[in-house]
């Protein structure tokens, strides 16, 4: 039998490795930023064009590389971070596998300029699809500049799977936030299509958070601090009143590396138990420092998931630390049954002595005397009752001209039923619907009855209404007497600008959109003024997290969100008229069988089904 197993060529192997390392432009941004940090950079510039599809460039002032190191850095498994296998369990750097640059160079046009501080000239290298186009000496400043152009130029199938420029830019921004939050001592600059998005000076953790998420974030933060032999915890949590319905500002950093940990997230949510609603999530920026030998960070290609040696202890410490911070800063409610506010002494009476009360008794007081002698003697004048008949003189003649029987109508009791045969009922209307468990509406049909989920039915009705309004642009808006301002982060404001046209077609009216706030002057008819902030938060979150960015339009995404937010919930009581109106509106929809999220709206129970239960 002929040999059929062959070694793959290097460029094919690099393209396969690139599938694990480079999933989208944000993956390239992550790798290049981490390389710049490992090089000891103090100023890092990130420049992208067309959502990273056309250009991703990272410029740093790090140590730079010699000509040999620059050429060798694009080879597979070439790294300066580890020398032996044991080093994998004592890592203090970001990149260590030596696959990033080789994988990126296999699927893009890469251009590097680098120079160490001690050298007079640097190195300029161009690589296209793992092939070195040229390498020469160049005059360049200290540090390294990496430019990645035309991502996936030789793999068109992968390029076609990329989302729109706005979606890819949001993913890049998320990666930029994660790196910038972990290293506040490094100055970061972020440019997109020639405009500056972020200019972050080197500062402390709190100011770095405020610079990224807006000045209003400062008042939301509660500091967290704890140091134990196992872990050192620092950072901030947001106050319970600022909890959101979406997973937004939630960041874990272990040894200055961003991670995702559902287990630790559960510890944070458990600490907020009783302070926030069940369907909301708190924000947190938590920095954990542990022994590098106690974690394994190489269990996932993107290195965002880590494995701890003792997760249970870490869970307990994190939960108790957050509870302590909430109580220490008077965020958590406290009950002291031994404290009596009536015994508190005001500040102005602190140095004053108590005054002895004086009691005086009137020895001449006699309750049986007609005249009471007291220190306070009110005088009463007896009214003369004579002549009261004159008050009614002439009234009889006036009353004679009034037809009391024709001018006054008496309200009679409504007869709702009768127990005697032959007596006609006044109210002949019969209710055709009724509510079960404040969740389902039951109505009768010819073949039996229909059980309707009231929340899903209302979602379907509102969804089609909002979708129609956004399509034909005939939404009715109610003007607010007093416009109000809602604050957001810069990335959220950019999202609002993207969906502004759709929001206007639905019924929202914005007077002004600034860098960190938006002024609302009009809202759709079904939206309450008190819910605008929560609804806009949900709209932004759903639009940002929509995985099918290209398959569904903005109108569809926002109509679903509005329908889900404004629909009646399970547990709400509906009167007979509301039940009938909801049933009629539901069966007037184009597709009444499923909700906007493809869940069944109603079930039908036929007469035969009922008969079978009595067999």
On whether both 116 and 141 belong to a single domain, the answer is yes
Q: In this model, does residue 380 exceed pLDDT 80?
A: no
Read off the pLDDT of residues 261-272 as tens digits, 9 standing for 90 and up. 889 999 999 999
Phi-psi region of 310 (alpha: psi -120 to 50; beta: other; left: phi over 0): beta
Read off the pLDDT of residues 325-334 as tens digits, 9 standing for 90 and up. 988 876 655 5
Would you say the pTM of this structure is higher than 0.75? no
Domains: count for the chain: 3
- For the chain, the distance separating the N- and C-terminal CA atoms, rounded to the nearest angstrom, is 70
Q: Give me the pLDDT at residue 555, please.
A: 78
Side-chain half-sphere of 307: how many Cα atoms within 13 Å?
5
The alpha carbons of the chain give a radius of gyration, in whole angstroms, of 37
Region 495-507: mean pLDDT is 82
* Domain-located, residue 2: no
Cα–Cα distance for residue pair 70/93, rounded to 1 Å? 19
Region 499-505: mean pLDDT is 82
Strands of the sheet containing 187-192, edge to edge, are 131-138, 122-128, 109-115, 143-149, 55-60, 43-49, 187-192, 195-200
On whether both 42 and 164 belong to a single domain, the answer is yes
Instruction: Check if the beta carbon of residue 565 is closer than 8 Å to that of residue 531.
Output: yes
Q: Which of 182, 200, 218 is the last residue of a domain?
A: 200
Q: Give me the pLDDT at residue 389, please.
A: 58
Q: Which of 328, 349, 378 is the last residue of a domain?
A: 328
Q: Give me the pLDDT at residue 115, please.
A: 93
Q: Which of 97-101, 407-411, 537-541 has the highest mean pLDDT?
A: 537-541
Token look-up 């200055």 returns 256
Instruction: Check if the beta carbon of residue 249 is closer than 8 Å to that of residue 265.
Output: no
10: nearest Cα among 109, 131, 133: 131
CATH at 53: 3.30.565.10
* Domain-located, residue 391: no
Q: Give me the pLDDT at residue 428, please.
A: 37
User: Mean of the per-residue pLDDT values for the chain?
Assistant: 80
Q: Give me the pLDDT at residue 551, please.
A: 44
One DSSP character per residue, 436-498 reads ETTTEEEEEETTEEEEEEHHHHHHHHHHHHHHHHHHHT---EEEEEEEEEEE--HHHHHHHHH
Cα–Cα distance for residue pair 461/587, rounded to 1 Å? 9
Region 285-292: mean pLDDT is 91
* Domain-located, residue 158: yes
What band does 182 get if pLDDT is binned at 50, 70 and 90?
very high
* Domain-located, residue 157: yes
Q: Give me the pLDDT at residue 148, please.
A: 94
Region 214-242: mean pLDDT is 90
On whether both 467 and 559 belong to a single domain, the answer is yes
Residue 567 tokens, joined: 């629909």
Q: Give me the pLDDT at residue 547, please.
A: 42
* Domain-located, residue 340: no
On whether both 593 and 531 belong to a single domain, the answer is yes
SS3 325: helix
Instruction: Check if the beta carbon of residue 112 is closer than 8 Å to that of residue 136.
Output: no
On whether both 513 and 571 belong to a single domain, the answer is yes
Read off the pLDDT of residues 579-613 as tens digits, 9 standing for 90 and up. 888 998 998 898 889 998 889 999 999 888 888 88
Q: In this model, does residue 152 exceed pLDDT 60?
A: yes
Domain of residue 155 covers 10-200
**What percent of the chain has a predicted confidence (pLDDT) above 70?**
78
Read off the pLDDT of residues 38-88 as tens digits, 9 standing for 90 and up. 889 999 999 999 999 999 999 999 999 999 888 888 887 666 655 555 555
* Domain-located, residue 615: no
Read off the pLDDT of residues 107-128 as tens digits, 9 standing for 90 and up. 899 999 999 989 999 999 999 9
What band does 385 get if pLDDT is binned at 50, 70 and 90?
low
Q: List beta partners, residue 189.
A: 45, 199
What band does 289 get if pLDDT is binned at 50, 70 and 90?
very high
* Domain-located, residue 244: yes
On whether both 56 and 170 belong to a single domain, the answer is yes
On whether both 457 and 586 belong to a single domain, the answer is yes
Q: Give me the pLDDT at residue 188, please.
A: 96
Cα–Cα distance for residue pair 239/212, rounded to 1 Å? 18
Q: Give me the pLDDT at residue 426, please.
A: 35
Number of neighbouring beta carbons within 10 Å of residue 192: 20
* Domain-located, residue 383: no
What band does 156 get if pLDDT is binned at 50, 70 and 90?
confident
On whether both 191 and 217 belong to a single domain, the answer is no
Residue 136 tokens, joined: 């020469």
Instruction: Check if the beta carbon of residue 151 is closer than 8 Å to that of residue 109.
Output: no
Q: Which of 179, 200, 221 is the last residue of a domain?
A: 200
Q: In this model, does residue 97 exceed pLDDT 70?
A: no
Cα 55-80-53 angle, rounded to 5 deg: 10
On whether both 457 and 507 belong to a single domain, the answer is yes
CATH at 311: 3.30.230.10
237: nearest Cα among 272, 284, 190, 192: 284
> Angle at which helices 262-271 and 311-328 pack, to 10 degrees?
30
Q: In this model, does residue 408 exceed pLDDT 60?
A: no
On whether both 117 and 240 belong to a single domain, the answer is no
On whether both 171 and 117 belong to a single domain, the answer is yes
On whether both 520 and 472 belong to a single domain, the answer is yes
CATH at 507: 3.30.1370.100
Phi-psi region of 341 (alpha: psi -120 to 50; beta: other; left: phi over 0): alpha
Q: List beta partners, residue 192.
A: 48, 195
């Amino acid at each position: 039998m002929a040999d059929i197993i062959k070694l793959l060529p290097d460029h094919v192997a690099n393209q396969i490795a690139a599938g694990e390392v480079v999933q989208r432009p944000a993956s390239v941004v992550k790798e290049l930023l981490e390389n710049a940090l490992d090089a000891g950079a103090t100023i890092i510039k990130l420049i992208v064009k067309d959502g990273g599809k056309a250009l991703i460039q990272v410029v740093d002032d790090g140590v730079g590389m010699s000509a040999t190191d620059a050429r060798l850095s694009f080879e597979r498994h070439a790294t300066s971070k580890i020398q032996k296998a044991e080093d994998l369990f004592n890592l203090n750097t970001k990149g260590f596998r030596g696959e990033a640059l080789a994988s990126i160079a296999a699927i893009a046009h890469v251009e590097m300029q680098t120079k160490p501080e001690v050298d007079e000239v640097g190195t300029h290298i161009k690589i296209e699809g793992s092939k070195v186009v040229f390498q020469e000496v160049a005059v360049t400043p200290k540090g390294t500049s990496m430019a990645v152009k035309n991502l996936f130029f030789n793999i068109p199938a992968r390029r076609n799977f990329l989302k729109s420029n706005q979606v890819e830019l949001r993913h890049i921004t998320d990666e930029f936030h994660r790196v910038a939050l972990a290293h506040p001592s490094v100055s970061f600059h972020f440019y997109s299509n020639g405009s500056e998005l972020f200019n972050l000076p080197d500062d402390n953790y709190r100011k770095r958070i405020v610079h990224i998420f807006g000045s209003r974030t400062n008042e939301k933060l509660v500091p967290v601090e704890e140091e134990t032999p196992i872990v050192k915890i620092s950072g901030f949590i947001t106050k319970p009143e600022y909890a959101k319905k979406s997973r937004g500002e939630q960041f874990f950093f272990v040894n200055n590396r961003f991670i995702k940990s559902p287990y630790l997230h559960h510890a944070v949510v458990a600490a907020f138990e009783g302070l926030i609603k069940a369907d909301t999530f708190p924000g947190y920026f938590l920095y954990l420092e542990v022994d590098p030998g106690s974690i394994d960070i190489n269990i996932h290609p993107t290195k965002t998931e880590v494995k701890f040696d003792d997760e249970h202890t870490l869970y307990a410490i994190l939960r108790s630390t957050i509870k302590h911070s909430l109580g220490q800063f008077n965020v958590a409610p406290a009950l002291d049954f031994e404290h009596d506010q009536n015994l508190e002494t005001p500040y102005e009476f602190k140095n004053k002595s108590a005054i002895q009360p004086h009691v005086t008794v009137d020895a001449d007081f006699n309750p049986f005397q007609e005249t009471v002698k007291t220190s306070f003697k009110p005088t009463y004048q007896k009214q003369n009752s004579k002549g009261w008949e004159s008050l009614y003189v002439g009234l009889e003649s006036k009353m004679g001209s009034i037809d009391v029987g024709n001018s006054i109508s008496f309200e009679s009791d409504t007869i709702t039923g009768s127990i005697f045969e032959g007596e006609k009922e006044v109210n002949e209307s019969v209710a055709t619907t009724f509510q079960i468990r404040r969740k389902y509406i039951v109505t009768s049909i010819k073949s039996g009855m229909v059980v309707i989920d009231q929340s899903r039915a209302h979602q379907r009705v509102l969804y089609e209404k909002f979708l129609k309004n956004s399509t034909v642009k005939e939404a009715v808006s109610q003007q607010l007497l007093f416009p109000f301002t809602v604050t957001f982060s810069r990335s959220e404001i950019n999202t609002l600008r993207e969906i502004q046209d759709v929001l206007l077609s639905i019924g929202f009216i914005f007077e002004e959109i600034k860098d960190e706030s938006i002024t609302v002057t009009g809202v759709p008819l079904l939206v309450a003024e008190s819910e605008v902030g929560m609804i806009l938060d949900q709209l932004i979150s759903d639009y940002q997290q929509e995985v099918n960015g290209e398959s569904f339009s903005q109108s569809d995404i926002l109509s679903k969100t509005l329908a889900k937010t404004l629909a009646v919930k399970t547990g709400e009581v509906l009167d007979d008229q509301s039940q009938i109106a909801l049933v009629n509106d539901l069966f007037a929809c184009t597709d009444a069988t499923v909700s906007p999220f493809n869940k069944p709206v109603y079930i039908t129970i036929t007469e035969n089904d009922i008969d079978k239960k009595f067999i």
